[in-house]
A and B are shown apart, each in its own frame.
Chain A
Amino acid sequence: MSATENVREQLESLPDYGLVALFLAGIWLILTVLAFAVGGPQAPNLAAGFIGSVTVLLGAYAILTLALNLQWGYTGLFNIGVAGFMAVGAYTTAILTAPANPEAGAVAGFGLPLWVGIPGGMLMAAIVGGLAALPALRLRADYLAIVTVALSEIIRLFVNWNGVAELSLFGVEFGTGGATGISFESPSAVVAGVVNGVGSPLVSAANGLGVSGPNVVNIVYGLTLLAVVGGSYWVLSRLVNSPFGRVLKAIREDEQVTQSLGKDTRLFKIKAFMIGCALMGLAGVLFRGSAGYISPAQFRPTITFYVFAALIIGGSGSNTGSILGAATFSALLFYLPARLGEFFPSLRGQAPGNIIEAIAGLGSLDPGPLVAYTVSNVSTLRFVLIGVVLIYIIQNRPQGLLGHRNEPAASVGLSRPRAADGGGDDE
């Protein structure tokens, strides 16, 4: 076991950004290897495609996991209505930025630019979160869970309802688009504009390597999301490494004791909840709405459980753990298996269409069909894997990857003041 322990020690001595960078590099490397293994002449473009998509996915899940970590990992608020708050953020932004004079058949909006629409979406998500929190935060954790998922579904049913698909109030037209969804100003199009404008030399260089323009845009969009993750991390770590964070942790442990020490816990809970919801709204726009189109079907509650899986894997209570958990989940459990399944053409060619034929091979001691069937259905099986991983972790290592770390909530160093160097280091 000491080899593993050695590696673990070395990893744990890395600073947090180093750990995250290492993870990212590792993921990119694995995908590049896969691309070159199966891509043939298309390999560079395939690799670029993989890297772009996984980075976008990773970035989105990182934002969501950080938000959920603030609510659940730090404050103990069990919110499984993540999809609902994503929808509030995405739909608010969509309504604000949809063109005021759209093409025929499209839903009209206020035509505002994205830099107004996105903060508007985040604000609305925070407000809805605050309104929901006011009566609900006094509920115990599992009841809050049920209320939040019920709320999430009500939100989805509401935006799906054709009664609000197109409205006209006081001469202003706007709407949710109902079941068919709504088109609005696309965040990735904005990024594409920059890439193809200022970054055109980069695009040309990439083309020279065989990488297509859209894949470059996708990679840059992914990196933009990572920048947003970095910004969120900056804000959140300042938030939790402070007296505010201390009170949140205390609330999670024992709210009554925290109150007995003079803290108005309701206020802290509402603030933490609202900030988390704002981030979820942001992720809703930048992830589900990246192409400038959203519909109710994209906001089913299932995504909440994926975010929870990411959080548990990474270790609830640790912000860096949240990012690593999101990376592990989205890249290794979600993205990679699906790509593996797609890129075994020789096996897929023979794959039976259904389970009976797959098992039939076992009768003559031939595992081939079953293996082929399994591989071609990996994108279904990966969710079984996620479920099993979740169970395994909760049973055997509930603190996840980094939850065991002692991360005291303070804004300054905590070493004894009369030590030789005269005082603790500041962060």
Chain B
Amino acid sequence: MSETVGAEAVREDVPTTSDAVDAPLLEVDGLRKEFGGVTAVDGASFRVAPGSFTGLIGPNGAGKSTTFNCITGIHDPTGGTVRFDGTDVTGLPPYTLAQRGLVRTFQIARELSEMTVLENVMLAPPEQSGESALHSVLPGLRDDVQTAEREVVEDAWATLEFFEIDHLAHENAGSLSGGQRKLLEMARVLSTDPEMVLLDEPLAGVNPTLEEKLLDRIDTLRQDGLTFLLVEHDMDVIMSHCEHIIVMHQGQVLAEGDADTIQSDDRVLEAYLGGDV
């Protein structure tokens, strides 16, 4: 999952749409979600290729966050299927999906405000032996837990240093600024050692230097095999970094393709004029 890919790190051609047809990591088919009388997602279908950096855009109300929520188990879809890594995961609870490697950040950062920044990040790594009650308490087993924890602590500090929020490590997450919380969300979700990350407007409130750093980091992680699906309103980022873009409008997929294709698609322009960018 996160092994450094030696010589292939130099590779220019990251997976593209055509590869997606062969073995997509994420497949959404005919996804529907209704809330009472409102249909938020109305038959959305798309594929995400492994290792790709895909953008999901659309005017407000297009159904992007709802789609995220349906994929990641926060909502139960009214219809349609979601397949991850070849397996049907429709309607599975969030923790199962996360354990399989599919994680997401939240649009409004949901930091655990009464816990410190460091605690937040240390929560994320999977399969911590100390998460067993027995292992935490019994004398011999606790020693192993402590050994494993020291590594978790080191990794957490390294992650916080990368995201430049290490000076806040012992602060309660609730006292962070909006931008800092976004960074914490990212730091936390990346610490789960995922395969695919759904990013829900992660760059809002983040300064440009750090934004570049984050995007570089995303690229590095992609070379390690991670896949990213990004919802963003910053069109520059989407157009210049995502090799595949999905446009949603009124709950459906309006168009798909690379930046040029999308930018020259009249329907996309109309959708945005009808809504607001």
Contacts and interface: CB of A to CB of B under 8 A. Distances in A.
A and B touch in the complex (CB under 8 A): yes
Interface of A: 235, 238-239, 241-247, 249-250, 252-254, 256-265, 268, 271, 275, 317, 406, 408-414, 416-418, 423-424, 426
A411 B149 contact: yes
A416 to B, nearest CB: 6
B98 A417 contact: no
A260 B133 CA distance: 21
B137 A239 contact: yes
B122 to A, nearest CB: 6
B108 to A, nearest CB: 11
Contacts of A258: 95, 123
6 shortest interchain CB distances as A-B pairs: A262-B98, A243-B130, A242-B136, A259-B94, A243-B128, A259-B95
A244 B133 contact: yes
Contacts of A409: 115, 119
Interface residues of B, number: 48
A219 to B, nearest CB: 30
A408 B154 contact: no
Interface of B: 72-74, 93-95, 98-99, 103-104, 106, 110, 112-116, 118-119, 122-124, 126, 128-133, 135-137, 142, 145-146, 149-150, 152-154, 157, 166, 169-170, 172, 188-189, 192
A262 B149 contact: no
B142 A238 contact: yes
Given A406-B172, A410-B122, A275 B133 contact: yes
Nearest to A246: B123
Contacts of B128: 243
A249 B189 contact: no
B153 A260 contact: no
Given A261-B188, A261-B189, A412-B150, A250 B115 contact: yes
A416 B128 CA distance: 20
A414 B150 contact: no
A239 B104 CA distance: 29
A130 to B, nearest CB: 13
Contact of A408 (B73, B74, B116, B145): B116
28 contacts: A238-B136, A239-B136, A239-B137, A241-B136, A242-B136, A243-B136, A244-B131, A246-B122, A249-B115, A252-B114, A253-B114, A253-B115, A254-B110, A256-B94, A256-B110, A257-B110, A258-B123, A260-B72, A261-B103, A261-B189, A262-B98, A275-B133, A317-B114, A411-B146, A412-B146, A414-B118, A416-B169, A424-B153
Most A CB contacts (10 A, CB to CB) among B119, B142, B152 go to: B119
B112 A262 contact: no
A423 B192 contact: no
Given A261-B103, A414-B170, A243 B145 contact: yes
Contacts of A264: 95
Interface hub of B123, B150, B152 (most chain A Cβ within 10 A): B123
A261 B157 contact: no
Most interface-central of A260, A263, A416 (chain B CB within 10 A): A260
